[in-house]
Structure 1
Amino acid sequence: MFPKPIEKSGRFVNISYRVALPISLMLWLLPLAAVMMTSIRSLEDINTGNYWGMPTDIQFIANYSQVFTQTPMGQYLINSLLITLPAVAGAVALSTLAGFALAKYKFKASIWIFALFIAGNFVPFQILMIPVRDLTIAFGIYDTHWALIFFHIAFQSGFCTLFMRNFIVGIPDALIEAARVEGVNEWKIFWHVVLPLVRPALAALSVLVFTFIWNDFFWALVLVQSDEVRPVTAGLSALKGQWTASWQFVSAGAVVAAVPPVILFFTMQRHFIAGLTLGATKG
């Protein structure tokens, strides 16, 4: 039923695995290494076509300082934080409440509501472009932080509810019934019984959703136009200019934009892994 461990496989499989793994790792890291090397190159290096060799003149401090002084990168990062943090909090909070209701309350339409949350994950987001844009214009929030915040909360709720509902289902009903017998109201049961038990799942979900929203590029182009609101993903494309592209600044900005999700992942790594493996040994 389960895949055989690589140590117990045949000699050919073991050799193939040991050869393919470093090759795959190098191919995966190659674009990242190229971006990081370009971020410290001088403009002369780029103009002479030195894209893959070692930089002849390392401009680490100059490039990374100028990307903040000569471009609106600081404003882009602030915009991304102002959009991502409320969107993550709203999506996780709503999905946890919805997941609790769908997992522990029995009512006729529960299976159909849960099916709607699942079906929403299969809708191609591109077909929502015109309706969502028109709605934001109608409500007067187009080209504001709120347009992206509300959209991401709504769009991520389907996946988040599916994620949290499956974890909350595993909580024994006896714990909730015991609390009800003691006269604890439903809100306190949710806050003091359910939430502490699904804390690893909340951490894992928050890291995933933060990464999804922070790295969004499509909706940042559709719902935002001005630099005062544009998040960092859309802001990177604006650094290229109309006629020429300062690739050292674009690369430095890309590295800076990747730092917050990486820091969050390593900060929450223990909780993230615990959330993904929660219940894996239950049997």
Structure 2
Amino acid sequence: MGRLNKSKSKFLNISLCILSFIWIFPFTFVLVNGVKSGAEYNKGNFWDIPKGFSIANSLEFISERVSLSAGVGNSLLYGISSAILAIVLSALAAYSITKLKVKGRFFWFILIYSGTIFPFQMYLVPVYKMFAQFGLYDTQIGMIIFYTAISIPFCTFVLRNFFNDIGNEQSEAARIDGATDFQIFYRIYLPMAKAPISALFLFQFSFIWNDLLFGLTFSKSANIRPIMTVLSQLNGPNGATTNTPAVLLACALASIPTVLIYALLNKNLETGFVVGGK
């Protein structure tokens, strides 16, 4: 039995090492080629180690083509505000359909969760027409509203599962002491859901940050477009890249915020997915 456990542990460690290598390997060579000069990249091999750091020309190329700072600022605004709004609304919905005496609770849950059943591409035309009609197209408010709405179904699903696993003893004791439903939610259930909320925030922020399709569809101005849409404009005519090291460097720089947020929420990430996914 002990040998079997050791074998399983060894196999798991080897598998994790292989997966980590597969994950880190492409990103490493993005960094390696991102610091090359255009001439060194074109004349050399993709796998060659750079002879020195040459990012001045790449940064100049990026600044001439796009406003990277504007894209980063927009994506931070969309990612943080939309993720927070979606989690708050989803937590209220999950609490209502699990702990309050609401008629048709399962129906309301299915209605909310049905937003994940259909491919997201189905929303493009109707949402575009609605945004154009109400003046929300190419606006930051419109982008925040859309990203919030599209994130609510999954957040509600995770938080509903979490709240279902919590007993009613604490809430009943709080009601005896005169606490209202909202006070019970805010002071008891919300603090207990810190782990899944952290995991949801990272997941939804990453989804919004890496989105290209909706950013291209619902925005056109440089001061509105998110970072991935901005990065797509670094390509030359007909998709031909004019400065590959500059594009790789821009992609590496654009990945920094998600790495920082993961580092900040790392303690709660694994616990959040395990508890919230039961």
Q: What TM-score, normalized by structure 1, do the two folds share?
A: 0.87
Matching residue of 1:110: 105
Q: What is the CA-CA distance between 1:110 and the residue it aligns to?
A: 0.8
Q: What is the 5 A alignment of 1:66-85?
A: 66=60, 69-70=63-64, 71-85=66-80
Please name the residue that 2:150 is paired with: 155
Cα offset, 1:192, TM superposition = 1.0
Between the aligned partners of 2:170 and 2:94, the Cα distance in structure 1 is 17
Structure 1 match to 2:140: 145
- Structure 1's 19 and 107: CA in aligned 2 closer, same or farther, altered over 3 A? closer
Q: Which moved more, 1:238-247 or 1:21-30?
A: 21-30
Letter in 1 for 2:261: L
Deviation at 1:229, TM superposition (A): 0.8
Equivalences for residues 14-163 of structure 1 within 5 A: 22-60=17-55, 62=56, 65-66=59-60, 69-70=63-64, 71-163=66-158
Once residues 257 and 229 of structure 1 are traced to their aligned partners in structure 2, the CA distance between those partners, rounded to angstroms, is 16
Over residues 88-143 of structure 1, what are the superposed CA-to-partner deviations in whole Å (9 max), with x where a residue is unaligned? 11101100000100111233311111112232212100111101111111110101
> Where does residue 243 of structure 2 map in the other structure?
246
After superposition, what is the alpha-carbon deviation per residue over 1:228-263, rounded to whole angstroms, capped at 9, x for unaligned? 111111111101233652111211110111111111
CA shift, 1:221, in A, is 0.8
Structure 1 CA distance, aligned partners of 2:236 and 2:185? Answer: 51
CA shift, 1:152, in A, is 1.0
Q: 1:25 to 1:194 in 2, by over 3 A?
A: closer
What is aligned with 1:256? 253
**8 Å contact kept, 2:59–2:246:** no
Q: What is aligned with 1:7? A: 6
Q: Aligned pair 1:271/2:246, yes or no?
A: no
Report if the CA contact (8 A) 1:39-1:250 is conserved: yes
SS at match of 1:106: coil
Matches within 5 A, 1:172-191: 172-191=167-186
Structure 1 residues 175 and 137, CA, compared in 2 at 3 Å: closer, same or farther? same
CA contact (8 A) 1:204 1:271 kept: yes
1:39/1:249 contact within 8 Å kept: yes
- Is contact 1:34-1:52 (8 Å) kept? yes
1:28-77 deviation per Cα after TM superposition (whole angstroms, max 9, x unaligned) = 333212211121010101222532211234214x2564366434111111
Higher relative contact order (CA 8 A, sep 6+): 2
CA distance in 2 between counterparts of 1:121 and 1:40 reads 40
* 1:164 corresponds to: 159
Segments of structure 2 that go 5 or more residues without pairing to the other structure are: none
Describe the superposition over 1:158-216 as per-residue Cα deviations: whole angstroms up to 9, x where unpaired. 00000111111122211111111111111111111111111122111111111111111
**Gap change, CA 1:101 and 1:240, over 3 Å in 2:** same
- For structure 1, the residue ranges without an aligned partner over 5 or more in a row are none
Partners of 1:276 and 1:20 in 2: CA distance? 21
What is the aligned-residue RMSD (CA, Å)?
Answer: 2.5
